[in-house]
Amino acid sequence: MGFFTFKKQRPSNEEAELTVQPRPRNFPFYIKAPLVLIGLYLFFYILSLLQDILVPFAFAGLIAILLNPLYNRLEKWKVPKILAIILTLLTAIIVLAGVMLFLSTQIIQFGDMLPQLKQKSLGLLNEAQQWVSMKFNIPLDKQMKMLNDTLNNSKGYLGQTLNTVFGIVSYFVLIPLYVFLLLFYKPLLLNFIFEVFKEDNKEQVADILQETKSAVQSYIVGLMIEACIIATLNSVALMILGVKYAILIGVIGAILNVVPYIGGVIAIAIPVLISFVTKDDGLTTPVLIVIAYLVIQFIDNNIVVPRVVSSKVSVNALVSIVIVLLGGTLWGVSGMFLSIPFVAVLKIIFDRINELKPWGKLLGEEMPKNIPHKVVIKEEQGNENSEDKTQTNDTKENME
Q: Highest mean pLDDT: which of 18-22, 105-109, 199-203, 247-251?
A: 247-251
Judge if 122 and 187 occupy the same domain. yes
Q: How far apart (Å, rounded) are the C-alpha atoms in residues 327 and 321?
A: 10
> Does some domain include residue 29?
no
The H-or-E segment that residue 46 falls in is: helix 29-49
Which residue range is the domain that position 348 belongs to? 313-374
Let me know if 243 is exposed, middle or buried by CB neighbors in 10 A (0-12, 13-18, 19+). buried
For residues 400 and 349, the model is more confident at 349
pLDDT tens, residue by residue, 55-77: 889 889 888 988 988 999 998 99
Q: How far apart (Å, rounded) are the C-alpha atoms in residues 262 and 329?
A: 13
Q: How many residues does the chain have?
A: 400
In sequence order, what are the residues at sequence separation of 6 or more whose Cβ sits closer than 8 angstroms to the Cβ of residue 217?
65, 66, 68, 69
User: Measuring CA to CA, which residue among 336, 320, 337 is closest to residue 328?
Assistant: 336
Judge if 319 and 336 occupy the same domain. yes
Q: How far apart (Å, rounded) are the C-alpha atoms in residues 392 and 19?
A: 68
Q: How far apart (Å, rounded) are the C-alpha atoms in residues 348 and 106?
A: 41
> Does some domain include residue 203?
no
Judge if 136 and 176 occupy the same domain. yes
Please tell me the total count of domains within the chain: 3
In sequence order, what are the residues at sequence separation of 6 or more whose Cβ sits closer than 8 angstroms to the Cβ of residue 353?
none
260 phi/psi in degrees, rounded to 5: -60, 135
Q: How far apart (Å, rounded) are the C-alpha atoms in residues 280 and 276?
A: 7
pLDDT tens, residue by residue, 364-377: 877 777 765 555 44
For residues 181 and 105, the model is more confident at 181
pLDDT tens, residue by residue, 75-88: 899 899 999 999 99
